[in-house]
Amino acid sequence: MEVGTLYETHIEKRIIGAFQKSTSLPTIVIIGGIHGNEKAGIIALKNVVQLIEKEKINIKYNFYALSGNIKALKNNVRFNTVDLNRLWTEEIISKITHNNEEFVEDIEEQADIYKTIKNILKINKGRFYFIDLHTTSAKTEPFITISDSLNNRKFASNFSIPIILGIEEFLDGPLLTYINEFGHMALGFEAGQHFDNQSIKNCEAFIWLSLINIGCVNKKVVTDYKYYKELLSKISIKKPFYEIDYRYQINKNEHFQMKKGFLNFDAVAKNDVLAICDGEEVKSPINGYVFMPLYQQQGDDGFFIITKISQLWLKLSIIVRKLKLHHLLRLLPGIQKDKNNDYILIVNPKTATFMAVEIFHLFGYRKQVVKDNKYHFIKRDRKVTPFK
């Protein structure tokens, strides 16, 4: 099915497919189209579900395929009033659960997705895996985004595609970060450009390989297993980890135009002109790689700059986290533990200089919010707790 001519007929339903085996077994939830102009994930989920049903493929665990922003998908826009992937904060969720919000369209959708996931997690007690399928406005090879927890890293490393850590430090309220905070593996897969048919194939490949890696499906029963495996191994950039160092924020009513021709992962040097915003040149503040340059109208992330993470850093961070050395951070001046939350360190801005931020990252903490002039660093590795 072509992305351009799709799919009036099959986006009315939140649940595209549900295969419930046993409440004690692992559960996999895969969602597509949380951005309504990103249809590849939805089409791929639909294709996978159809094939499972047609070929009576044995699904050994619980597997749910969900659709994201149904109204935005129908209108073929990223969102109607607010970005559905920037709303997953405690504050907004509490409004949903207390039903005291005048719901705008996108929040209605959020409330329904929230209830659906909550119900799935209420019934099923086994290990939980969450995958969120996206596409980008710029041309790109597939890549994975995760919050930097060890369980996320481990799962993402099953694939030989680039892995980008730390997006939660730059975006408010993505769904996968919210789910991650309950200790579950949660990962975003970016399949390619919005209207490229290859993005559908990449999503299908990622869905099948994920189900196989988790043990939900036996690879022998997936006829195209080899093809899918090859498809996601053809990536020219081999299995590196990257970290986001910079995000260009487009403010309200600003006219932002990315310079033509940037591909995702293109190398850029400090002071290279990347875009024009309200007539002014926008330059890269550092050497690195341009990431998710914005070539569409909606959205306020102009571009990101990412840099490669060394193998040494990756290994060292595993060691310090396994040894639980993060307790030492609390002994430093200007750092206190949040009394109400074991995973939060409250840090004096003077302490949170660039070098210090790198140390927090090593120990698995990411800067997330500024409250009362203090930084809150939030630990990404955590125990599984009930979904709220």
Q: State which residue, 32 or 288, has the beta carbon closest to Zn ion.
A: 32
Shortest distance (Å) from residue 326 CB to Zn ion: 32
How many CA atoms does the CB half-sphere of 181 hold within 13 Å?
18
Name the minimum Å distance from CB 152 to Zn ion. 18
Q: Quickly list DSSP for 312-349.
A: HHHHHHHHHHHTTGGGGGGGSTTEEE-TT-TTEEEE-T
Cα 22 from Cα 24, distance rounded (Å): 5
Binds Zn ion (CB under 5 A): choice among 6, 32, 35, 264 = 35
What letter does residue 157 receive in the DSSP assignment?
T
The neighbouring-strand residues paired with 280 are: 277
Dihedral sign from CA coordinates of 68, 70, 71, 76: positive
Shorter beta-carbon distance to Zn ion: residue 38 or 301: 38
Interface stretch with Zn ion, choices 38-46, 105-113, 255-263, 375-383 (CB under 5 A): 38-46
CA 36 remoteness from chain centre: 16
Residues in region 173-212 near Zn ion by CB under 5 A: none
Does the CA dihedral 276-278-281-287 come out positive or negative? Answer: negative
Shortest Cβ 86–Zn ion spacing (Å): 11
321 touching Zn ion, by CB under 5 A: no
Closer Cβ to Zn ion, 46 or 134, answer by number: 134
* Nearest of 182, 196, 189, 223 to residue 54 by alpha carbon: 223
Residue of 134, 153, 201, 321 that binds Zn ion (CB under 5 A) = 134
Start-to-end Cα distance in the chain: 37
For residues 35 and 321, which CB has a smaller minimum distance to Zn ion in the complex? 35
Q: Which residues is 131 bridged to in the sheet?
A: 30, 187
Give the count of residues interacting with Zn ion (CB under 5 A).
3
Nearest to Zn ion of 242, 375 (CB atom): 242
Amino acid sitting at position 255: H
The H-or-E segment that residue 205 falls in is helix 197-214
Using CB under 5 A, which of the segments 95-103, 130-138, 199-207, 361-369 binds Zn ion?
130-138
Query: Which residue lies nearer to Zn ion by CB, 35 or 379?
Result: 35
Nearer to Zn ion, 78 or 184 (CB): 78
| Binding range to Zn ion, per CB under 5 A, among 46-54, 127-135, 226-234, 321-329 | 127-135
**Which residues of the chain form contacts with Zn ion (CB under 5 A)?**
35, 38, 134
